[in-house]
Amino acid sequence: MSIFDYFKRKPTKATAAIAKERLHIVMAHEHRVANGPDYLPALKRELMEVIAKYVHIQRKDIKVNLERHGDCEILELNIALPEDDEKTATAN
Amino acid sequence: MSRVIVVTSGKGGVGKTTTSASFAAGLANRGHRTVVIDFDIGLRNLDLLMGCERRVVYDFVNVINEEATLKQALIRDKNDNNLHILPASQTRDKDAFTEEKVGNVINELRDSFDYIVCDSPAGIEKGALMALFYADEALIVTNPEISSVRDSDRILGMLSAKSQRAIEGEEPIKEHLVVTRYSPARAETGEMLSLDDIQELLGIDLVGVIPESKAVLQASNSGVPVIRDEQSKSGQAYQDMVSRFLGEDIPMRFLDAEKKGFLKRIFGA
């Protein structure tokens, strides 16, 4: 760095904190997936197929989560049903 | 009792082969009979960093396929009688590796060596899984960079799920963190993940920090493991790493940013 750089130098951004935060989140998610039972992806797919017979949904509309609280495991299913007009469209 | 150590990272280009070469050379230099195996089938490179590329006759796959004996394939280091290299094959033969065949070679090596260092290829495919399968200990090479940390975390998952020790329910692989290409100045200003950040994220013990240095490229250009460059910070940092691995308790060095003098600030480096 020379004297000329002083005039054009921009402050460097402390982006390491952002990187760390993002890693915390993504790694926690990946650990859950890795530690989850093997049947989870298949369960999700089959649920999706059953529901798709009756309502028009997309893959992103169904969320399957397995959480552990001590000895207790909670399987959480969250299915976002489409708006009314879409529903009638598939019914017809 | 010999130990098998895998040098792995998940991500490519972080310094696995550089670390394997220096780690093996360091162990050998302290009197331990050491062999370093290149598991990167198809992309042989360890021979270049060890400066023995023109002496390769037979390779790891030849030994596995029983086309050559171990004795024929092992290359003895020019400078150190304790150090041997088992080079990778240049032809891509995906089916060469089976757990049984690799296990046979490792078992045979156990008879003549104290340390068997396995230089893993990048990725989480067969070659990487074979390199870690028989490991007793692991060096996890990580750069202070977001994708490298994530990939190291994935590899830690592999070690605790796919290794022989994991499958047979034995004592888990002993994991050591090696941070390479570390720049204290950039960590200080918060533009690079710090050592504390990386340790907190990965949750394993730190065995070495190798500062970013020109000496690493110069050493690989010349085919000499950088640990033999005793003048360089990287060489000294690798020496320290080997000492810590062998159980010595020595403080980490080269963690503080160099203070630039007034004149250097004005006129540049």
Residue in chain B nearest A15 by alpha carbon:
B191
Phi then psi for A67, rounded to 5 degrees?
-115, 150
Q: Among partner residues A2, A14, A20, which is closest to B189 by beta-carbon distance? A: A14
DSSP character for B82?
A: T
Run of H or E including B265: helix B262-267
Tens-digit pLDDT profile for residues B144-178: 999 999 999 999 999 999 999 999 999 999 999 99
User: Quick one: pLDDT at residue A91?
Assistant: 44
For residue A48, give the 3-state DSSP assignment: helix
Whole-angstrom distance, CA of residue B159 vs CA of residue B46: 23
User: Quick one: pLDDT at residue A12?
Assistant: 66
Whole-angstrom distance, CA of residue B23 vs CA of residue B137: 13
Q: Among partner residues B154, B157, B201, which is closest to A24 by beta-carbon distance? A: B201
- Assembly ipTM: 0.82
Tens-digit pLDDT profile for residues B184-197: 999 999 999 999 99
Question: Does B93 have pLDDT greater than 90?
Answer: no
State what percent of residues in chain B have pLDDT above 90: 87
User: Quick one: pLDDT at residue A29?
Assistant: 84
Tens-digit pLDDT profile for residues B22-67: 999 999 999 999 999 999 988 999 999 999 999 999 999 999 999 9
Tens-digit pLDDT profile for residues B101-136: 999 999 999 999 999 999 999 999 999 999 999 999
Which of A1, A7, A18, A29 has the most B C-beta neighbours within 10 Å, making it the best mutation to test the interface with B? A1
Window A:12-71, CB contacts with B under 8 Å: 12-17, 19-20, 22-24, 26-27, 30-31, 34
Residues of chain B whose beta carbon is less than 8 angstroms from a beta carbon of chain A are 146, 149-150, 153-154, 157, 161, 187, 189-194, 197, 200-201, 260, 265-269
Question: Does B247 have pLDDT greater than 90?
Answer: yes
What is the pTM for the complete model shown?
0.82
CA-nearest of B257, B195, B14 to A20 is B195
What is the secondary structure of B225-253 as a DSSP string?
-GGG-TTSHHHHHHHHHHHHHTT------
pLDDT digit of tens for each residue in chain A (92 aa)? 566 666 666 666 789 999 999 999 999 888 877 776 677 778 878 888 888 888 888 777 888 777 777 778 788 888 888 776 554 444 44
User: Quick one: pLDDT at residue B265?
Assistant: 65
CA distance A31 to chain B (A): 8
State what percent of residues in chain B have pLDDT above 70: 96
Q: Do B201 and A17 touch (CB under 8 A)?
A: no
Q: Do A15 and B191 touch (CB under 8 A)?
A: yes
Residue-level length of chain B: 269
User: Quick one: pLDDT at residue A89?
Assistant: 46
